[in-house]
Amino acid sequence: MNAAFSQPSFRFPRRLGLRGAVTVSFDGTALTLRGAEGGERRIAPAQVARLRSGRDDAHKYGPSYETRLRLSDGGVLAFVVSGTGDAGGYLATMRGFAAAMAADGRLARMEAGTSVVGSLLFPVMMGALFLATSYVALFVLTNEPWWGRLLVPLLPGVMTALGIVAARRSWPRPVASLEEYGFRLEGRR
C-alpha cells in the first residue's frame, strides 16, 4: 500500500520534530509522518490507544475528513483533510492503517464519528432558538390566530429536528467491524 496525503505545518508536527508540511503514508506496518523540511516519525498500530475517524459535510469546500489518534504515551494526533483533493489518499491510508489495527487485535480501540461537541453544536443552537420562538408564539402573539402563532417556531423546529438527525450520524461510537469503519470513514452510514 502506497497511498499518502499531506497536512499543513502546524503545532503537532513541530512537537514531534517534523518541520514543514507533513506527508502521512502507510507502508503496511505503520503510519509514517515525514516533514517536507526534515524529521520522520513512525506510528505502529500497537502504539495507538484510540483511533477515531469521521466525516463532516458542513463545509462549503466539500466534505471534511478528520482522524484523531490517541497514542499510548499520551500524545494526540489529528489529521484533517478538507475537500476532495486529498480525500482519495487519506481514505486509502486510514483504511489500510485500520486494517492493520484490526489484524493486530485492536478493533475495540477504533471509533467512527467526529466529536461530541461538533455533533451537538447545531442542534443545541437551533433548539434554543426553537424554545425562544415558541415562547414568543405562546405568550407574546396572543392576538394572532392559532395557525399564525404556529408559523413562528416552525422553521427553527424543523432545523432542530434535522440537527438531531445529523448529530446521530456524526456521534462518536465504537465500530463493530472493519467494514463498518470503512463506511463511516467515507460518511456512508
Which of 9, 70, 2 shows the shortest CA–CA distance to 37? 9
Q: What is the mean pLDDT of the chain?
A: 86
pLDDT > 90: what percent of the chain? 36
The three cell numbers locating residue 164: 438531531
4 by DSSP, 3-state: which? strand
The CA-CA-CA angle for residues 102, 11, 171, to 5°, reads 45
pLDDT category at 55 given cuts 50, 70, 90 is confident
3-state class (DSSP) for residue 152: coil
Q: What is the average pLDDT across 82-101?
A: 84
pLDDT bin (cut points 50, 70, 90) of residue 189 is low
Strand order of the β-sheet with 31-35 is 4-7, 22-26, 31-35, 40-43
Are the C-beta atoms of 98 and 178 separated by less than 8 Å?
Answer: yes
Q: Which residue has the higher pLDDT, 143 or 1?
A: 143
Query: Which of 63-67, 76-80, 163-167, 181-185 has maximum average pLDDT?
Result: 163-167
Angstrom distances, CA of residue 162 to CA of 38, 124, 156, 157, 173: 46, 12, 10, 9, 20
Model confidence at 50, pLDDT cuts 50, 70, 90, reads very high
Q: How confident is the model at residue 157 (pLDDT cuts 50, 70, 90)?
A: very high
Residues 6+ apart with CB under 8 A from 141: 148, 149, 152
pLDDT of residue 159: 95
CA angle 36, 37, 42 (to 5 degrees): 60
Longest dimension (CA), the chain: 71
pLDDT in tens, 21-47: 888 899 988 999 888 888 888 999 999
The pLDDT of 52-57, averaged and rounded, is 85
* Residue 189 to residue 178: CA distance in whole angstroms: 13
